[in-house]
Structure 1
Amino acid sequence: MKVCFNQATTMKKSTLEKDLEFCEKYGYEQIEIRTMDKLKDYLETHTIEDLANYFKSSRIKPYAFNALVFFNNRDEAGYKAIKDELQYMCEVGQKIGCKNIVVVPLVGPEKFTKSQIKESSVKVLNELADIAEKYGIRLAIEFVGHPQCTINTFGQAYDIVQAVNRDNVGLVLDCFHFHAMGSSMEDLERADGSKIFILHIDDTEDFPIGALTDVDRLWPGEGVIDLDAILKTLKKIGYSEMVSVELFRPEYYELDIEEAIQIGKEKTEAVVGKYFDIE
């Protein structure tokens, strides 16, 4: 299992350059790059070629872009913007060797039926997959464990992935989101591990289902999520590709960047290493 760093964990103070420097120092194999801010900031003073050259000469490699947001149940203008953004991500991804893009469902107050959500998601994902496929890039749906997200459980997301039935469309399993809306362990046990492209590791405080938000996240092993059950099940269904530490906790943003990156690696390995060999 390769250990990856998600830039949300140091989002408030750090930069892509600093995250890469300290991730390289502490032995991370991969990084999830935030395209909405950290990559944009980097490109103000660097080029895509600079980034590609960095990865060619470094241990750490780009694993995913995070994220293409609100892909489903959009109006025509919103959908065009999504396709344009995906095209850009694919072009950059091909240049730097990043082969995965996290895609996030619509979150907001407007209500849609389950059938409307599934119909839109399947249609859009097939069209987006056509674009990504030309670049050898995979799309990973990240269900969000919040009542206002259109896709908010593992079972719902997996059903959509099965309906799409494309080799380059799979899932992000974020342990926080899995717990936050009470996703079913039975659904995970029945899943094909090869359809999980990304594993986000985290923990959380003991708030009720439906009340949790990203700021409630904790370092892996310090909260109430049954990470042991999730990891055991993932091993059983054949998942072993990578694990990415992703936190959004305000207190952690006050830590020294190097310290946060070091802690993230140590906490992740302590939890995941009980079930998987760490590369």
Structure 2
Amino acid sequence: MSHDSGNINDFGMDTISLAGPLEAKLQAVRNAGFTQIMLAAKDMVGHPEGIEAAVAAVRASGLRVTGFQVLRDFEGLSGHLHDYKIDIAKSMLEMCHMLGCRLLLICSSTSVHATGDNQTLVKDLRKLAMLAIPMNIRIAYEALSWGRTINEFPQAWDLICEADMPNLGLGFDSFHMFATNTPLADLDMLDPRKIFLVQLADFMWTEIKSVEERIATARHFRVFPGEGVHSEALAALVTRLHGLGYRGDYSFEVFNDDYQQMPLATVAARARRSALWLGEDVLRRSVPLPNQIRLKR
């Protein structure tokens, strides 16, 4: 591991960017100099030897678990659907706890069966936070840009403030902010202590014309920070968050079908280049032009 890896400790990879078995993903991330990894439920339940073996692999890797994802379509349901989702939430929290992970990511509901009533949404988020307290888990609530009611981070922030739970905070994803063109200035309303996770990704086009295209881009065509067309915006975002006082984790939330077909070490090296750009150039303020990043490394 080279001497400059210290600058990437604030940044972590996400298993969704990598193909192959969990152990190989963990090894590749570790070898690239990262100290943390974002895990998905399928990393656990999909392990051929079961959940305990997955937990053992994560522990053996020495990587810190940034967070566990993702609880979907949770809030705003009633009756049987609500009970069903509470069950799912308990199961996710249980797995999160087994990993020794302190953060569960939940993204805003896209369900047509969910109400848009604010009081109900607040009550549900509060209930989830309550369930997580005994396990010492924090809940990061993220606005999906195609969420049914909550689709921009200021709306998610309003619910979080109203729910007023110590372990409920914001999960922030740069992709969704760029997709909805939410103004950077809106970040100033946030309390940095209540931003629980920042996920970063870029993509290759400036404009997204429909919700369908937004979903397809988010799920298949993201790239690492510095690789897409929003490098300057990403640099401005990270600088703004730092200026606000955010000192938490940054995770690369990069869903990309091409990366799933590349050797793990190659993808991890791309992520490392991103982390070095953000950690050394952006946060130390000497921002190079994004198109020079690739040549330099």
> Normalising by the residue count of structure 1, what TM-score does the alignment of the two structures yield?
0.87
Match of 2:93 in 1: 90
How far apart are 1:238 and its partner, in Å?
A: 0.8
Match of 1:145 in 2: 145
Which residue identity is paired with 1:158? W
The whole-number CA distance in structure 1 between the counterparts of 2:179 and 2:135 is 34
The whole-number CA distance in structure 2 between the counterparts of 1:122 and 1:220 is 33
How far apart are 1:56 and its partner, in Å?
A: 4.3
Q: From the superposition, tell whether residues 108 and 80 of structure 1 become closer, same or farther in structure 2 (CA, over 3 Å).
A: closer
Match of 2:278 in 1: 271
> Normalising by the residue count of structure 2, what TM-score does the alignment of the two structures yield?
0.82
Match of 1:206 in 2: 206
Which residue identity is paired with 1:235? H
Q: From the superposition, tell whether residues 177 and 209 of structure 1 become closer, same or farther in structure 2 (CA, over 3 Å).
A: farther
Matched-pair contact (CA < 8 Å) for 2:77–2:115: no
Q: Cα deviation per residue 1:101-140 (whole Å; 9 max; x = unaligned)?
A: 0001111456855xx1x22221101111111001100000
Match of 1:135 in 2: 135
Match of 2:4 in 1: none
The whole-number CA distance in structure 2 between the counterparts of 1:160 and 1:209 is 28
Please tell me whether residue 39 in structure 1 is matched to residue 44 in structure 2: yes
Q: Which structure shows the higher helix fraction? A: 2
Tell me the C-alpha RMSD between the 2 structures.
2.2
Matched-pair contact (CA < 8 Å) for 1:145–1:179: no
Q: Number of residues paired by the alignment?
A: 268
> 1 or 2 for the larger relative contact order (CA 8 Å, sep ≥6)?
1
Q: From the superposition, tell whether residues 219 and 47 of structure 1 become closer, same or farther in structure 2 (CA, over 3 Å).
A: closer
Out of 4, 7, 10, the residue aligned to residue 2 of structure 1 is: 10
Match of 1:189 in 2: 188
Which residue identity is paired with 2:274? K
Q: Cα deviation per residue 1:203-260 (whole Å; 9 max; x = unaligned)?
A: 1221236542313322211223301221111011111211111111222222112211
Q: Which moved more, 1:193-202 or 1:85-94?
A: 85-94
Unaligned runs of 5+ residues in structure 1 are none
Q: Cα deviation per residue 1:44-75 (whole Å; 9 max; x = unaligned)?
A: 41442x44444444431112111111111223
Out of 219, 222, 241, the residue aligned to residue 217 of structure 1 is: 222
Which residue identity is paired with 2:157? Y
Please tell me whether residue 106 in structure 1 is matched to residue 109 in structure 2: yes
Which residue identity is paired with 1:119? Q
Match of 1:30 in 2: 36
Q: Which moved more, 1:94-103 or 1:260-269?
A: 260-269
- Give the secondary structure class of the aligned counterpart of 1:33: strand
- Give the secondary structure class of the aligned counterpart of 1:220: coil
Out of 6, 9, 15, the residue aligned to residue 21 of structure 2 is: 15
The whole-number CA distance in structure 2 between the counterparts of 1:251 and 1:58 is 26
Match of 1:159 in 2: 158
How far apart are 1:90 and its partner, in Å?
A: 2.6
Please tell me whether residue 64 in structure 1 is matched to residue 51 in structure 2: no
